[in-house]
Amino acid sequence: MKRIDADILIPGQGTPVPNGTVIIEGTSISYAGPTAEAPSLPHIDSYRVPTVMPGMWDCHAHFFGTEGADLTYLATTPTPVSAVRAARDAHTLLMAGFTSAREMGGIGVYLTRLIEEGTIVGPNIYGAGGALGPTGGHSDIHWMPESWRDDLAASGKGWVTVCDGVEACIKAVRQQLRIGAQIIKINATGGTMSMFDNPNHRQFNDAELRAIVNEAALAELAVGAHCHGVSGIVAAAKAGVTTIEHNSMMDEPTAELLLEMGTMVVPTRHAVDFILSLKGQIPNEFWEAEAAFAEKHWRSLELAIEAGIPIAVGADIMQSGDPWGTNGKEVATFVEAGMTHLEAIEAATANGPLTLGPRAPQSGILKEGYDADVIAIDTNPLKDITALGNPQRVTMVWKGGNLVKEPEQHSPVFPSMAPA
């Protein structure tokens, strides 16, 4: 058993408790509330921290293990190389206070197995397998022959799965189930950095979208839809997806529709800001296009917050290495876009599991019976929300009741993780 006493306990949902205590029994929480009312138990490991809160959720991760986001890297990076890099990135994420990741395409389904068997240390990963999309869409690798793309998908390196027509879409969902998917990811519009597919065009017709959502539902799987343009957002929401990813160009009528359907949004602003930070390092025409897109995306984020659509944190980091660990910057971004500090923390914690629909675990809240995924911060994030984007400020991490990060801890496996 473990006991964590804190100056402030932020439960993830509900009102913060000054002088709060969390008690962990095995893998779950047995008490979370005022220190004054906490049961006193002998022989228990105790810790004293400034702030205790639930471990955060990154609801739009990609474990690709490649040096860039270009799909060509799929073929040119040997699998063992990408696997070890992805294992390091998962470890970095956990050390940054993210005890869970919803992985929207990549090798996360395999990392889950390695983490659960204890081979590597990382967050709980709920992987999608390959992201589904139609021929010529955002899941396609347009610049290579189709046979090359299909061979690659069949080789187990399928971050992307191309399917056309209802039958093929149903089979594609089943193929993700076959490799252990716990969420289905679809690309329901084009992308912003793609060669041919346009972010304003929707992808998949209504019959295909419905077939995917219905087939996924048989296995209690939620569907997350990558959508930039309005037509794709509307079609995906009407088909019954659980989350809209990016949600870049949402207008007011569409916000009403999302509220009516109970659809959540994962805005992934971190990825937009990361590309903008590359000014001078990427071709200027790409940067200019991204800057124009970023303005629309920001308005859509503000509108989603104003409308009260449930929102979750997702960083959408596509390359290995940098900027893993800064995923929590998204929380401060939500505050800039209009959330209260408490709402932004809820987006990073309690809202996370909801993006998995029926498979949502009891996580993201400091509450009796919930998973003991708990973090300590060296300050009060209700006063300095940027602390959640800085791994140095996340001083302790418990995952499933196990202490996996302590102050001054040095990692023998990934030396770059040693505190500076």
The site for Zn ion (CB under 5 A) is made up of 316
CA pair distance 221, 219, nearest whole angstrom: 5
| CA-to-CA dists, residue 109 to 93, 179, 217, 314, 336, angstroms | 16, 7, 19, 18, 34
Nearest approach, Cβ of residue 257 and Zn ion (Å): 23
Contact assessment for residue 375 and residue 397, using Cβ atoms and an 8 Å cutoff: yes
Q: Which residue is nearest to Zn ion (CB)?
A: 316
Contact assessment for residue 398 and residue 373, using Cβ atoms and an 8 Å cutoff: yes
Shorter beta-carbon distance to Zn ion: residue 215 or 316: 316
- Active-site residue flag, 157: no
Task: Considering the candidates 316, 329, 371, 405, report the single residue annotated as catalytic.
Answer: 316
User: 228-252: string of b/e by CB count within 10 Å (b at 16+)?
Assistant: bbbebbbbbbebbbbbbbbbbbbee
Nearest approach, Cβ of residue 247 and Zn ion (Å): 12
Shorter beta-carbon distance to Zn ion: residue 274 or 298: 274
Shorter beta-carbon distance to Zn ion: residue 77 or 139: 139
Nearest approach, Cβ of residue 328 and Zn ion (Å): 17
Task: Considering the candidates 89, 140, 157, 185, report the single residue annotated as catalytic.
Answer: 185
Nearest approach, Cβ of residue 104 and Zn ion (Å): 5
Shorter beta-carbon distance to Zn ion: residue 160 or 366: 160
Nearest approach, Cβ of residue 188 and Zn ion (Å): 13
Contact assessment for residue 46 and residue 375, using Cβ atoms and an 8 Å cutoff: no
Shorter beta-carbon distance to Zn ion: residue 316 or 373: 316
Nearest approach, Cβ of residue 136 and Zn ion (Å): 19
CA pair distance 57, 123, nearest whole angstrom: 9
Shorter beta-carbon distance to Zn ion: residue 316 or 330: 316
- Active-site residue flag, 150: no
Nearest approach, Cβ of residue 338 and Zn ion (Å): 23
Shorter beta-carbon distance to Zn ion: residue 208 or 316: 316
Nearest approach, Cβ of residue 260 and Zn ion (Å): 26
Map the chain to HEC letters: CEEEEEEEECCCCCCCEEEEEEEEECCEEEEEEEHHHCCCCCCCEEEEEEEEEECEEEEEECCCCCCCCCCCHHHHCCHHHHHHHHHHHHHHHHHCCEEEEEECCCCHHHHHHHHHCCCCCCCEEEECCCEEECCCCCCCCCCCCHHHHHHHHHHHHCCEEECCCHHHHHHHHHHHHHCCCCCEEEECECCCCCCCCCCCCECCCHHHHHHHHHHHHHCCCCEEEEECCHHHHHHHHHHCCCEEEECCCCCHHHHHHHHHHCCEEECCHHHHHHHHCCECCECHHHHHHHHHHHHHHHHHHHHHHHHCCCECCCCCCCCCCCCCCCCCHHHHHHHHCCCCHHHHHHHHCCHHHHCCHHHCCCCCCCCCCCECCEEEECCCCCCCHHHHHCHHHEEEEEECCEEEECCCCCCCCCHHHCCC
Shorter beta-carbon distance to Zn ion: residue 100 or 395: 100
Catalytic residues: 185, 316
